[in-house]
Structure 1
Amino acid sequence: MSCPPQKPNPGRSSWSNLWFKNKKALNNALFNIHLQSLTPPPSQTPLPTNPTPPPNKTHVFDLPKFVANKTSLLSDELLLDILSRLPVSQRNSNSLVSKRWLNLQGRLFRSLKLLDWNFLISGRIFTRFPNLTHVDLAQSCLLSSRNSGILATHKLVSFHIDPSVLQDAFNLEKFVLSVDEIDVGLRILASGYPNLRRVVIVNASEMGLLSVAEECPTLQELELHLCNDHVLRGIAAFGNLQILKLIGNIDGFYGSLVSDIGLTILGQGCKRLVRLELSGCEGSYDGIKAIGQCCQMLEELTFCDHRMDEGWLMALSYCENLKTLRFLSCKSIDRGAELDEHLGLCTTLERLHLEKCQLRDKPSARALFLVCQGVREIVIQNCWGLDDHVFSIASICRGIIFLSLEGCSMLTTKGLESVILSWKELESLRVVSCNLIKYSEVSPALSTLFSALKELKWRPDAKSLVSASLVGTGMGKRGGKFFKKMRDWKLPHDA
């Protein structure tokens, strides 16, 4: 038995039918709701006496569009101000948000270490980072083989090299761009960044430096790698140069020469220098004298692995405003400075820093302390040959208020005590990793001096520090018993 088909009920309508049939009525209802939202409360606006009937037409609403990125409503200036207040560590992650943020983050950068030379030659550096003032070109000037797994590293540069080149003697100059390529890049850099304050250059020529000096009159800091006397003739064009670092000869890496000729040119051309660092430079008394006489504003002088001739130390007295003298990785100070009456004295010198230097030559150390006998601070770090006898020479520096010793493995407690007890103005003492200085050897006089100091950092012997911290814990005793049993135990064939 089959059921007859049901006829549709004319009295029942679906929601879709109601929507389309009563669309005009629905529009009128929405219009009334919209009017009520725009009309103020009755207490503020009186009701009209003759209300106007609503117009007999369909009202079209303009709904606000959905904004996907709300930061697009902010101007570039406002968003730049917000991004500049965020930590520097978030710059890389912020630049990944959008292309706009990437461009804005590039405008915040002031310093850049360039890795790709083509990035400069193509001009993309100016659109990506338009406001740079500090540019380091050292890494990008080297021909690096990125697919190689061999990494040549120095404290100044590091790059990948091709294994095939290791068959011959290694020389970094083979991996440096030519002088012409460097000069072209310097001209492009100077034309795009006229407000440069600091630049690091490798293997530049005199003309390349002149192009930078002409376009960048506000340049204050310059670092030259693979530099020689001929290149230094372009230094005189930098009228506002205050900080200069010259890297001449580095064993196995650079082989350029800076002699008295270059130092004399430097002194006559850079009379506003405040800080000067000579790394791997040669010279003598005449070159240092020229710098001291011409650079009257020089306050800090650093020698790194210098190759100076004997007797150059006597010329330091011409640096009349020198306040800080540093020696880094120097194999010797001055082996020819033996005549005390010709040494002179740096009357304005306040700080003497020695790091990773050879101090075995006692006449050389004596000459150094005689020139620097007016210093107020002495820092000696990881220097070889500093024994009790050499350190006793420092007692001629009567006005010391700060002493820092680190890694002086040949200095004993007695040698330290004999010197610092004679310094009546000593206020701060720092002794770290000097293994021959012991806790148990501190005398009552030295202990009294420690109590009068304003600042004391006393960690001379790591073993004593560890053993003192383990007192009462019982640690270390079981190991001693174990090794004692091992010493008493004999193998069968030894019996």
Structure 2
Amino acid sequence: MSYSPRRSTNPNTAQPQLKRPRPLSLPEVLSKEQALKHAIFKMQAHSLTPTPSTTSPSSETDLSSFHSFPFSPKSDLTSLLSDELLLLILSKLPLSQYLHNSLVCKRWLYLHGRLLHSLKILDWGFLDSGRVFDRFPNLTDVDLVHACIRSPRNSGILVTRKTLSIHIDSLFSPNGFIEEGDVLRPSVVDHGLKLLAEWYPNIRRIVAIGASENGLLSIARECQTLQELEVHCCGDMALKGISACRNLQIVKLIGCIDGFYSSVISDIGLTILAQGCRRLVKLELSGCEGSYDGMKAIGQCCQMLEELTLCDHRMDGGWLAALSYCGNLKTLRLRSCKSIDSSPGPDEHLGSCPTIEGLHLQRCQVRDRQGMKALFLVCEAVREIVLQDCWGLADDVFSISTVCRRVKLISLEGCSLLTTGGLESVVLSWKELQRLRVVSCNNINDSEVTPALSTLFSVLKELKWRPDSRSLLTSNLEGTGVGQKGGRFFKRIKP
């Protein structure tokens, strides 16, 4: 006879407490979700199998509907989207993902070519054969410079000079890194530009090297919407083709780069450019010659010019006085210039540019007091002055900038000759100064800051003060023992 215990009916007897179920962890939730999906998948697959009839023999299972099941891992869900919709989705991704997406399948590779608008061509045969037009039909920005230069692609030696970077071999040539035979002939380059003009009439930007007047004329005739043009190694006569581009807004001319190539752009070319391209907004002249006449023509004809950049210029003396004809110039940039103006002339003949707001000097030689004085007189209405890694900026040279009474921002970086006293004498004279940046000027020390300069610091809207990199390093290493004799980082290891 078996005995089975009964539950006690006494209300005073304590009832056992029910435990709350333990919350599931994330791996358990995912596991249950996968198991549920697998069960649903099996049930739907089973429902697609025909039920065998009792009166007819069992037939084979029809798997055609099973292979079209939307949850099949072999199905491509993107095939249900049209090309236009998939292009819209892919265009929302960052540019860094475009190349990876093109490797998914042939269709995505096809769409990647339609999605890309900017291309730097490295192989001239890719352009000459016409493959580039089938692969990328919607280009608006094409760079041909590297395709026009014969260089070893597998070389580990990369030489960069200004905006040009090429691979070279280990052989030394006294003529420079690029010899005359390394650049394609102008007729070949012109043929490539003609192909670009025929296939991309809506192109916006072109970068070329060694082109002649004929090639640039074909671009001007076919590409009415061309807005930006960068031409390397071109002469005065080639600029006749550029002058036919009536809607150009940005032009960059590189005449000479030491060690790479050399061509001459003088007052003749600058005058041709100015008379044709009257809608210029930005103009950059690198390694170009010229004088007062060429700059005057640009100022008189290009009334919309707002930004002028001179890089390693070879201008004759007196060119600064022509800036007074630039009636809408807002920014003047000088980069890697060995001199500002060798002979600016009398101060009363210089004139001024009242619309200019920004003056930027980078890696320039500023030892010549006469040239710097002429520059500050022409730019006396400037609001921003930026001096970066300029050689020869001593206290006497920097003191000339006091003629600019409306300065609101001054940025100094890498000016090792400037002292604290020279900085103070200038910045205290600017009553409208609001922003001050001093970086890596090793002759400016915190210990030499006067109360007057400290008062100025307290009222500025922006102050970036890191003048002495050595003292900054010392303060960061304080207490670590580094740099001290017998410090814990330099203890001798005993055997």
Taking structure 2 as the reference length, the TM-score comes to 0.83
**Structure 1 unaligned residues grouped into runs of 5+:** 1-24, 30-53, 483-495
Instruction: Name the CA shift for 1:164/1:443 in 2 (closer, same or farther; >3 Å).
Output: closer
SS in 2 for 1:166: coil
- For residues 361 and 483 of structure 2, what CA distance do their matches in structure 1 show? 41
378, 390, 394: which one aligns with 2:397: 390
CA contact (8 A) 2:266 2:294 kept: yes
CA contact (8 A) 1:27 1:59 kept: no
Instruction: Name the CA shift for 1:330/1:94 in 2 (closer, same or farther; >3 Å).
Output: same
SS in 2 for 1:204: coil
Instruction: Name the CA shift for 1:469/1:158 in 2 (closer, same or farther; >3 Å).
Output: closer
Q: Does 1:431 align with 2:438?
A: yes
Q: Does 1:27 align with 2:34?
A: no
- For residues 443 and 384 of structure 1, what CA distance do their matches in structure 2 show? 26
Instruction: Name the CA shift for 1:444/1:334 in 2 (closer, same or farther; >3 Å).
Output: same
CA contact (8 A) 2:415 2:440 kept: yes
Residue number in structure 1 paired with 2:24: none
Q: Does 1:144 align with 2:151?
A: yes
Instruction: Name the CA shift for 1:169/1:90 in 2 (closer, same or farther; >3 Å).
Output: closer
CA contact (8 A) 2:379 2:404 kept: yes
- For residues 462 and 169 of structure 1, what CA distance do their matches in structure 2 show? 37
- For residues 257 and 216 of structure 1, what CA distance do their matches in structure 2 show? 26
- For residues 124 and 392 of structure 2, what CA distance do their matches in structure 1 show? 44
Instruction: Name the CA shift for 1:64/1:423 in 2 (closer, same or farther; >3 Å).
Output: same
Q: Does 1:215 align with 2:240?
A: no
The superposition leaves residues 107-145 of structure 1 with CA deviations (integer Å, 9 ceiling, x where unpaired) of: 111111111111111111112111110111111110112
Residue number in structure 2 paired with 1:295: 302
- For residues 51 and 227 of structure 2, what CA distance do their matches in structure 1 show? 75
SS in 2 for 1:431: strand
456, 461, 465: which one aligns with 1:458: 465
- Kindly report which structure 2 residues correspond to 1:370-385, keeping only aligned pairs within 5 A, or say none: 370-385=377-392
- Kindly report which structure 2 residues correspond to 1:292-371, keeping only aligned pairs within 5 A, or say none: 292-371=299-378
- For residues 466 and 341 of structure 1, what CA distance do their matches in structure 2 show? 48
- Supply the AA of the counterpart residue of 2:269: G
155, 177, 199: which one aligns with 2:206: 199
Residue number in structure 2 paired with 1:63: 65
Greater Cα shift, 103-112 or 152-161: 152-161
Instruction: Name the CA shift for 1:133/1:477 in 2 (closer, same or farther; >3 Å).
Output: closer
Q: 1:148 Cα shift?
A: 4.4
Q: 1:74 Cα shift?
A: 1.4
- For residues 398 and 314 of structure 1, what CA distance do their matches in structure 2 show? 20
140, 157, 166: which one aligns with 1:159: 166
Q: Does 1:479 align with 2:490?
A: no
Instruction: Name the CA shift for 1:395/1:167 in 2 (closer, same or farther; >3 Å).
Output: closer
Residue number in structure 2 paired with 1:8: none
**Structure 2 unaligned residues grouped into runs of 5+:** 1-49, 69-73, 489-495
Q: Does 1:445 align with 2:447?
A: no
CA contact (8 A) 2:296 2:323 kept: yes
Residue number in structure 1 paired with 2:194: 187
Q: 1:193 Cα shift?
A: 0.8
- For residues 381 and 87 of structure 1, what CA distance do their matches in structure 2 show? 33
Q: Does 1:78 align with 2:82?
A: no
- Kindly report which structure 2 residues correspond to 1:102-141, keeping only aligned pairs within 5 A, or say none: 102-141=109-148
Q: 1:441 Cα shift?
A: 0.8
Aligned length: 436
- For residues 483 and 278 of structure 2, what CA distance do their matches in structure 1 show? 66
266, 277, 281: which one aligns with 1:259: 266
**RMSD in angstroms over aligned alpha carbons?**
2.5
Larger radius of gyration: 1
Instruction: Name the CA shift for 1:475/1:345 in 2 (closer, same or farther; >3 Å).
Output: same
The superposition leaves residues 419-477 of structure 1 with CA deviations (integer Å, 9 ceiling, x where unpaired) of: 00011111111110000011111111111111101111111111111223344x26347
Greater Cα shift, 356-365 or 243-252: 243-252
- For residues 483 and 326 of structure 2, what CA distance do their matches in structure 1 show? 60
CA contact (8 A) 2:52 2:58 kept: no
Instruction: Name the CA shift for 1:332/1:26 in 2 (closer, same or farther; >3 Å).
Output: closer
Taking structure 1 as the reference length, the TM-score comes to 0.83
CA contact (8 A) 2:161 2:257 kept: no
